[in-house]
Each structure stands twice: as C-alpha cells, then as structure tokens.
Amino acid sequence: MQTTRIIATVANVWRQPENIAIDTLALTNTGLQPWLAQLTDADTVTLEQDNRIVTQALFNDVFLVERFVNGWAYGYVLDQTDARHPQGYPGWVWAAQLSTVPLPVLTGPTVTIRWGFTPLLRLDGRTLLTLSLGTELPVISSKDHRYYTVQTPLGTGKIAKRATQFTFKTANLTRGAILVRLGEEFLDLRYLWGGVSAYGFDCSGFVYSLHRSLGIRLPRDAQDQIEQGGAIDLADAQPGDLCFFAHDHGHGAIHHVALYAGDGWLLHAPTPGKHVTYLQLASTYLRDELVVVKRNW
C-alpha cells in the first residue's frame, strides 16, 4: 500500500475507473460546483442507480493506494470505516487528485472546518483552494489571533480561526442539538449519492459529516452506522439521535438513516432528486420501517 493524501477540495470515489463525459468536470481539484451545476435531477438519480460514486474524500484525507491504472488509483479512504474492508472505504480516485509526497508527522492539535466552505490561504494571503465542512488539518501555529497556520499536502497554509467554529452559539446546546443546528445550515441542499461534503450529501453521508465536524467518528454507511452507539427508546429520543430504517416493515435491509430533530421530526437527506429537509416521522411510511434509535453524541 502507498499512503497518499487528497489534494482536491473534494474527490469523488468511484465504483469503476470511468471517464464519462458528463463527469469530466468532477475530476478537477478546485471544487465540484461546475460539475453539479450541469447535473440534472435525473442525472443524480442515475448516479445512485448505477452506483457510480461510492463515497467522497475531503482535502488532506489519507487514501491508501493499492494500484495505479491508466491515470486512476484504486485504494481505500482510511478514515471511513467499512465492515467489509478493514483498510478503509474502497474505490477509485482520479490520480491527479492525490499527493504522494510524505508529510512530517505532527503530534500537536488538529482543526476541523465547521463552515460549509472556507478558503485555504497561502501564507501571503492568496487563496490556494476552498475547503469543505469536515476537512481536518494539523496546526503548525496558532499565534496569529485570526488564522491558524496549518500543514497541508500542498504546503504550509493558513485558515481563518472563525471557520473552525460554529456559525451559531453553542453555550446552551447539547452536542446532539449542535448536530441538528449544524444540519439545518444545509436545508434545501440537493441530495448527492455518495456525498460527504457541503456540495451534497446522501443520507448516511449527511450524518457521518455532521458527526465528523464534532469530532465523532461514525462508519461511512448506514448498515455499519447502526452497529455503533447506544440504543434509545423512541419516546426518549433527543435531538441528534439517529433513526435507522429497513425494508419489509423494519425487518429487511437497512436503507435509510435520519437525524432526530425533536418533537417527532426528522432532519435528513432523503433520496436522489430531493433536498435536505425536515420530515414528521408519524406522517410518513418510514414510521413502519423504524428499526432502532441510536445515540453517539
């Protein structure tokens, strides 16, 4: 295995190393907005039906490469656990989105981006890249009152300290309530199959990313996430708990996870073609498919 790091704002991790014309814009390092802008809702449905994207990796995430083939790298996203693959979440990444340059090992603190997006700056103040929610970087120095100096696979940079803080007051909130409040900032964001970034989420990517932003590590997929955390009776559920749903009236395969938002409401990324939204559990078919409520916060 070769250890590499993601140097794109967000790198899609593909099921197969294909360069479909509609996806060419997804292979750049500077962000996914141009690609997403030309995807129709029908295209986003096709992403799921064909399972073209299996997950995403954020800037500076470790990607363990097993082999390179024709400009692509097959390997594993180290920080996204998957029960079937102990190395991490498997798939193909466009090799130009990877850095093979070893980084010094820093033993100090790391910081996590808690805004949807924020610029990564060069030391002279010019923008190097845009970072997404959940991006984690080692801190070299925190002496500047406005910026952290950080280590990145593109060299030393800096990020605004305020971008590592929530945009809302947290003093009177539980960690679960913080998860919900953070999730609200992505209301109406279009669902993206495989998404774990502020460009778009799938259902498990949504709860994975929110928890990651609080320093809580969940597995990547709902069928693995259900194995983690403590079980809670629905009557005792609090904001930030996770509700898991299965086919066949709760007896089949896990197919969905949502964030409990309080008073019988869910906050979730529903299905392709839809957007992050609230849903009242009692008014939907999901009420008959609820398997368990879990708490990780």
- Residues labelled as active-site residues: 203, 256, 268
Cβ–Cβ < 8 Å for 191, 272: yes
At 127 the three-state DSSP class reads strand
Distances (CA, A) of 272 to 48, 159, 278: 7, 33, 16
At 197 the three-state DSSP class reads strand
Structure tokens at 150: 């950080």
- CA distance linking residue 25 with residue 9, whole number of Å: 13
- CA distance linking residue 218 with residue 79, whole number of Å: 9
Q: Where are the alpha helices (DSSP H) in 56-151?
A: none
Structure tokens at 2: 């070769």
Among candidates 170, 169, 173, 295, which has minimal Cα distance to 234?
Answer: 295
- CA distance linking residue 240 with residue 186, whole number of Å: 15
Taken in order 240, 293, 286, 254, the sign of the CA dihedral is positive
- CA distance linking residue 185 with residue 292, whole number of Å: 26
Cβ–Cβ < 8 Å for 209, 197: yes
Among candidates 188, 76, 186, 73, which has minimal Cα distance to 134?
Answer: 186
Cβ neighbours of residue 284 under 8 Å, at least 6 residues apart?
none
At 269 the three-state DSSP class reads coil
- CA distance linking residue 205 with residue 55, whole number of Å: 8
